[in-house]
């Protein structure tokens, strides 16, 4: 059976629309989200979003406490090497580096809090390749039985579903 150019064009167009629809259906739409939920077998965390450079720079700095089931997720456009310097972060944290595939690449458990007067060289720095970085209260990664290689269930939500 011989196909003409018009038939081939229509088949290619339908295939392209199908691929685009699949991509959009499986893409996280965090751009319109107000929070995220990290759901584990043991806990559910409500995460504040850090989506842009300014929010990335401030993160959880200067806070004195964090809700036990709260935290923050840093969202980046691409998978790349990331470093977090904990100056002015007064809360001890678990810091979880997560890849594009939402698998945990690295967990830094119980990263100590910054203390006033700390020498620059003593301020904790953590780093790993990631697309997302999640900060939770210290001990919550272990409490939630999270381990490197686990695939995370992260849902991006509008404000009315955040519960904060």
Q: Indicate whether 89 belongs to any domain.
A: yes
**Has residue 44 been placed in a domain?**
yes
Helix (H, G, I), strand (E, B) or coil at 132: strand
* Residue 26 confidence (pLDDT): 45
- Render each residue's pLDDT in the chain as its tens digit; 164 residues: 567 778 878 877 787 776 665 554 444 567 778 889 999 988 999 999 999 999 999 999 999 999 889 999 999 989 999 999 999 999 999 999 999 999 999 999 999 999 988 899 999 999 999 999 999 999 999 999 999 999 999 999 888 877 76
pLDDT at 148: 97
Could you tell me if residue 12 is inside a domain? no
| CA 35/CA 120 separation, integer angstroms | 32
- How many structural domains does the chain have? 1
Q: What is the CA radius of gyration of the chain?
A: 20
Integer Cα distance of 156 and 66 in angstroms: 20
Looking up residue 84, the CATH number of its domain turns out to be: 2.60.120.1140
Q: Is residue 2 part of a domain?
A: no
Question: SS3 of 108, please?
Answer: strand
| Residue 6 forms part of a structural domain | no
Which residues pair with residue 72 across a beta bridge?
A: 48, 135
pTM of the predicted structure, to 2 decimals = 0.81
Instruction: Report yes or no on 25 lying in a domain.
Output: no
Can you give the pLDDT at residue 1? 55
Residue 98 lies in a domain: yes
For residue 42, the enclosing domain spans: 30-161
């Amino acid at each position: 059976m011989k196909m003409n150019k018009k038939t081939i064009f229509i088949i290619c167009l339908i295939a392209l629309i199908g691929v685009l629809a699949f991509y959009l259906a499986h893409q996280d739409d965090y751009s319109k989200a107000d929070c995220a939920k990290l759901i584990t077998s043991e806990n559910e965390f409500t995460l504040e979003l850090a989506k842009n450079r300014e929010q990335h720079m401030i993160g959880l700095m200067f806070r004195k406490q964090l809700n036990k089931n709260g935290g923050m997720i840093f969202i980046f456009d691409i998978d790349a090497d990331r470093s977090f310097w904990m100056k002015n972060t007064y809360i001890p944290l678990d810091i979880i580096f997560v890849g594009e595939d939402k698998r945990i690449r690295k967990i830094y458990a119980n990263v100590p809090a910054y203390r006033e007067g700390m020498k620059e060289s003593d301020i904790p720095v953590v780093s790993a390749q990631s697309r997302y970085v999640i900060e939770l209260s210290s001990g919550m990664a272990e409490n939630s039985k999270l381990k490197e290689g686990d695939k995370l269930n992260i849902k991006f939500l509008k404000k009315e579903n955040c519960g904060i």
